[in-house]
Amino acid sequence: MADFQTPEFRQYPAIPNELVEGATAHLSPFVAKPNHQEQLGFPGELVDNWEEKAIEKMGDLLSKYRSLRVYMDACVKCGSCTDKCHYFQGTSDPKNMPVARQDLMRSVYRRYFTFAGKYFPKLVGARDLTREVLDEWYSYFHQCSQCRRCSVFCPYGIDTAEISMAAREIMDSIGYGQKYCNEILGKLQTIGNNLGLPGKALKATLEEFAEEIEEDTGLPVKIPLDQKGADILLITPSADFFAEPHIDGLMGYAKVFHEAGVSWTLSSYASEAANFSMFIGSYSNMKVVAERIRKAALDLGVKRIVVGECGHAWRVAYSFWNSVAGIGSGGDDPYAQQLQKQLDHSYPIPQHICEFTHDLLEKGQLRFDKSVNDSRTVTFHDSCNVARGTRMGNYPGGQFDIPRALIKASCNHYVEMDQDSIKEKTYCCGGGGGLLTDDLMEIRVKGALPRMEALDEVVKDHGVTNLAAICAICKAQFAKILPYYKFPMDMIVSTHQLVGEALVMKGSIQEKDLDEEEG
């Protein structure tokens, strides 16, 4: 276990009192191995003329993304963002202020791309891209979870996440990538999921879960794999096949699908919703990964695509799948066109599992026994990418209301955390954006501080027992860091776990018992 102190809770809400310069300057994730890099089309290791190449790449990104240039130019140093970052709050390191993180790139931008910076660098805080600066980039751009909370408070809407994505893209392009993201993306592109779970193992695992549901409900609920001709293809994070409490969420989806009477399937070829390409700012890799899903959808002949509980995946699905792969309108290559013809446009493409379940709820097709969850008092953690990068339903804010509606339909006791820590102002779990790796445990624990403080408040005031989430990263992060803050690990639950446990399926043991009780 790394040697660091879990932060003490502050008087809530609070800002750090004293800055600690360089508090987390020592943090730097493992560098990707040559084979991890090369699989993704990046140089295996730091290239000789890296400075020149990095500046060339930055110029390329600045010309492609107008937003990036605006973000570089627009900051007026108003200070609005400074205390909004969970990593800053948890570490007190001034370099974790969003403006300082942006300035890592802005200082280099000024030196190479602005008149003043070229001729009077000192006057405008412009810096050469030295090895020291590059290493500072590597450290602090991997202390950003790209959660975009700071951008909510920026009067110019500067998006630090996009800057951090661009920085990582530049570093990848000169052979200085991060092991966690890049190794995983390699597995995804060769085996079909982040875990590296081969088809045979996936099949055996799903059969075990189906058996468990059958034992519990007395119903032959299936978790189908590679079922040609099914109506719905479910694309869900592979953590749903492997980790706790993710698995319980998956079993919840299976129950809902069964109860809805629809035919559905998973795909062994595209057995992953996650697409870490977004974290590293690589649209070329994002496209490769999204095209696996398109291929699976075409091969299986499905009419609908539903996405499981995964935060950044929903942002990729909602905002990028259409243009990179033609899943949703957009995409003009023949395969995209073919898929457009095949999919049923009377449903959202893609559709979130929460939307799917919510539709049934609205139509009164689901019966719940909320008392099953009476031992729980639940609060909901909005995942940053869902909250600030997407929507659910057909109106602004649906992404906040729909998961809550599902939880409230399944539980009698529901409590909100402090309003500055939920919905569009939600705090990152501390492990998003490619930081969910053991070598960054210190920043993960410290970055979780504001969320843990808000949780502590509702635990003390309202006896909250469980924290529900709709993101695989949030779930894994909380399962790991809750104990650092003296909360039980199993406090974190999947939203569809609550749904699945309270759902009274037609013909199930639960239905029989409930009918007898109600006479």
Which parts of this chain interact with another protein (CB under 8 A)? Answer: 1, 30, 179-180, 183-184, 187, 193-198, 200-201, 204-205, 208-209, 212, 237-239, 241-244, 246-247, 274, 310, 436, 438-439, 472-473, 475-476, 480, 489
Tokens of 222: 């299936």
DSSP 156: T
Give the shortest CB-449-to-another protein separation in angstroms: 21
Give the DSSP per-residue string, 283-351.
HHHHHHHHHHHHHHHHHHT-SEEEE-S-HHHHHHHHHTHHHHH-SSS---SHHHHHHHHHS-TTS-SSE
Give the shortest CB-255-to-another protein separation in angstroms: 16
Give the shortest CB-234-to-another protein separation in angstroms: 17
Of 63 and 375, which CB lies nearer to another protein in the complex structure?
Answer: 375
Give the shortest CB-253-to-another protein separation in angstroms: 15
Give the Cα separation of 197 and 443 in Å (integer): 28
Give the shortest CB-387-to-another protein separation in angstroms: 18
Give the shortest CB-195-to-another protein separation in angstroms: 5
Give the shortest CB-420-to-another protein separation in angstroms: 27
Give the Cα separation of 456 and 476 in Å (integer): 19
Give the shortest CB-74-to-another protein separation in angstroms: 34
Give the Cα separation of 296 and 301 in Å (integer): 8
Backbone dihedral region of 430: left (phi > 0), alpha (psi from -120 to 50 degrees) or beta?
left
Give the DSSP per-residue string, 344-393.
-TTS-SSEEHHHHHHHHHHTT---B-GGGGTT--EEE---HHHHHH---T
Of 52 and 208, which CB lies nearer to another protein in the complex structure?
Answer: 208
Of 87 and 242, which CB lies nearer to another protein in the complex structure?
Answer: 242
Angle at 285 between CA 136 and CA 306, to 5 degrees: 115
Q: Describe the crossing of helices 509-518 and 199-217 by its angle, rounded to 10 degrees.
A: 20
Nearest to 304 by CA among 359, 369, 357, 235: 235
Of 195 and 286, which CB lies nearer to another protein in the complex structure?
Answer: 195
DSSP-based helix, strand, coil % in the chain, nearest 5: 55, 5, 40
Of 1 and 396, which CB lies nearer to another protein in the complex structure?
Answer: 1
Those residues whose C-beta lies under 8 Å from the C-beta of residue 319, and which sit 6 or more positions away, are: 389, 390
Give the Cα separation of 445 and 6 in Å (integer): 7
Tokens of 13: 């809400």
Of 117 and 311, which CB lies nearer to another protein in the complex structure?
Answer: 311
Residue 370: C-alpha distances to residues 215, 403, 407 (Å): 21, 16, 10
Tokens of 317: 């699905």
End-to-end Cα distance, the chain: 55
Of 37 and 238, which CB lies nearer to another protein in the complex structure?
Answer: 238
Of 344 and 438, which CB lies nearer to another protein in the complex structure?
Answer: 438
Of 241 and 400, which CB lies nearer to another protein in the complex structure?
Answer: 241
DSSP 420: G
Give the DSSP per-residue string, 36-50.
HHHHTTS-SS--TTH
Query: What are the two backbone dihedrals, phi and then psi, of residue 310, each rounded to the nearest 5 degrees?
Result: -155, 120
Q: What b/e readout covers 314-339, taking b as 16+ CB neighbours within 10 angstroms?
A: bbbbbbbbbbbbbbbeebeeeebeeb
Give the shortest CB-476-to-another protein separation in angstroms: 5
Nearest to 12 by CA among 352, 458, 507: 458
